[in-house]
Structures are given as C-alpha cells and as structure tokens.
Amino acid sequence: MMRTTAKSTGIRPQGRLWGLPALIVALCAPAFALPMAEAPRTAKPFVDEGYAQLEAGNSEAALDVFAKALESNEKDVSALLGRAMIFAEQQRHEEAFSTYDRIVEYYPKHAFAWNGRGIAAFNMENFDEALSSFQRATADRPVNGFFYESLAWTLMCRGEFERAAESAKTASLMYDRKGESSLYPLLIAYFAHLEAGEKEQADRALSYARQNKRGHRWPNPVVDYLSGAIAEEELIGLVTDSAQETEAHTYIGLHLRSRGEAEQAARHLDWVSREGDPRVFEYTLARVFNLQPSVALR
C-alpha cells in the first residue's frame, strides 16, 4: 500500500503509500534478480531499459519493455518484479497478484514476492490468500518489520486480535533491529489488545508509543489523540494529505468503538469506507470494522 522506507513493496517507515518512488523501485527490484550467469543475456537490455523508463516516470513504457524481457526469459525475476510493482502502484490488484504469484511459482523462497502477493490479496479483501502469503513471507524470520506489520493488519481484518498483537510486536522488534522506527505496529498492538479485551496490555502499548515518538512527524498526532492530549478535531486539523486523513478518521473511529460509542464511531469508519484513500492499510481495516459490532471496554 502506501508505506515505504527506502503501505507497495514492503520496505517502509518514511512514507505510507503502496506506490514506490520510481527511483526506489529501480534500485530495489534488481537486487532480487538471479545471478547474471543464470539469466539469458538477451533479457538484460530490456530489463535495464524497463527500470530506466520506470525511474523516468514512464510506467506504461516500462510495462511494455518488461514484457519484451519476459519474451526472452519468462522467468526473469527483475522483469516480473518490475511489472508487479507497477501494477500495485496503479492499484491493478488482480494483475499484481497474478504476477507475484508467477514469481513465487518459479521462486518459492522469494519472501519479497510473497509479501507483494499478500498485499495484492489484502487490497482485494481476500484475507485468506493474504494470510497464507504473509506467513510464507515471514517463514524464515526475515529481519523486515514491514512483512510482520502486513501480517498484523491481515490478522486484524480477520478478527484474530491476539495473533495480530503478537505480529505487531514482532514488527516493532524487526524495525528496531534494522535501525528503523515506526509507530504503526504499536498502534496495531494497541487496538488489537483493546479488541481482545486486554486493557492493561493496550495501555502498555500506547505508553511505549508515547516513549518512541520522534519529532513532530505523522503519526505522532494519532498517539497524542489516543493519549487524550488533543481532541479529534485537532487531529483532523493536522492532516496534510488524503492518506493521513484516512488514517485519522480510522483511528478516531476505532477509539470511539472501543469506548462503546458505536454511532459516533460509525460516522468516521463510514467516511473512510466511502471517501478514504484505498492505498493505506487503514482504509481496508475501516471497511471491515464498519460492518462489525463494537467491543466496549468497561
């Protein structure tokens, strides 16, 4: 979705859109290519041109060139990844899914492709396929916080709140091990514990989020709102784009839901379902929770 570090490949906390900047795509995807000795030489010029087109912002031209590369070598992982990530950025989720599916058919241990497959399934609200994909992506315990965060979001949508909290905690650990910082796993853990009726653990997750805020960047204001430091109107007033607006309404809705204020919560979650930015995880979560009864904590 929109989170990237360097929500659609899965490298994250700077931004949260699924779509990657073209330069990041160009730099990341070839890293997963086969050794040059294993790939037909005729595919490489097309792959290089495809990523050059992508870096220049010419996605459609890149798709065409990657298709030519695959005519030379149908298993060229760089070309397949290029096409899959373009489809994901364009929100062509079925095509992204089928392309990632093709990669894992050829390369069953390709964790990056499994995660991309899961994201595509998540965006199609196929949470069974998303779950199985993210489980494969994390099977070898990669040091990649985004993989575990993706799994946590899926478990939230499936109503498996205790497992979601555990996956979120693992995501935080993996981000830390790579010297990265993200508050989103702590937000997931907070609401997962609330939904599971574990108020003490939820308060602990929120306390840890307060301790780990850095500067004034988003989503720090969400933590402030959940802590009672600012009102919901102030939180909405701090958003700067459609992604943050979607997140803000989702977290307000979930907060009100946890307090048993179902009607007020529904207004925010319904707004996300109708007007939200579909490129963030929270959009799909709000759509799922908008159809569920609230869990009020006493």
The pLDDT of residue 80 is 97
CA atoms within 13 A on the CB side of 64: 5
The pLDDT of residue 14 is 32
**Residue owning tokens 């204020």:** 261
Do residues 82 and 52 touch, judged by C-beta distance below 8 A? Answer: no
The pLDDT of residue 214 is 84
Secondary structure class of 25 (helix, strand, coil): helix
Whole-angstrom distance, CA of residue 201 vs CA of residue 186: 11
Q: How many helices (H) and strands (E) does the chain have?
A: 16, 0
The pLDDT of residue 2 is 57
**Residue owning tokens 């995807």:** 29
Over residues 252-262, mean pLDDT: 96
Mean pLDDT of the chain: 88
pLDDT category of residue 41 using cuts at 50, 70 and 90: low
Short-list 167, 119, 142, 138, CA closest to 16: 119
- pTM for the model: 0.86
Higher pLDDT, 297 or 192: 192
Over residues 106-123, mean pLDDT: 97
pLDDT at 7 over 70: no
CATH of domain 1-142: 1.25.40.10
| Residue ranges covered by each domain of the chain | 1-142
In angstroms, the Cα distances linking 126 to 91, 121, 282 are 15, 5, 15
The pLDDT of residue 293 is 59
The pLDDT of residue 291 is 78
Residues 6+ apart with CB under 8 A from 227: 206, 210
**Residue owning tokens 């998540």:** 122
pLDDT at 98 over 60: yes
**What does the pLDDT look like over 50-61, one tens digit per residue?**
999 999 999 999
Q: At what angle do helices 281-289 and 111-123 cross, to 10 degrees?
A: 40
Whole-angstrom distance, CA of residue 23 vs CA of residue 209: 31
Over residues 139-155, mean pLDDT: 96
Q: At CA 292, angle to CA 265 and CA 19, rounded to 5?
A: 75
The pLDDT of residue 215 is 80
The pLDDT of residue 130 is 98
Instruction: At 17, list the tokens.
Output: 């859109």
pLDDT at 39 over 60: no
The pLDDT of residue 43 is 82
The share of the chain scoring above pLDDT 70, in percent, equals 84
Whole-angstrom distance, CA of residue 227 vs CA of residue 223: 6
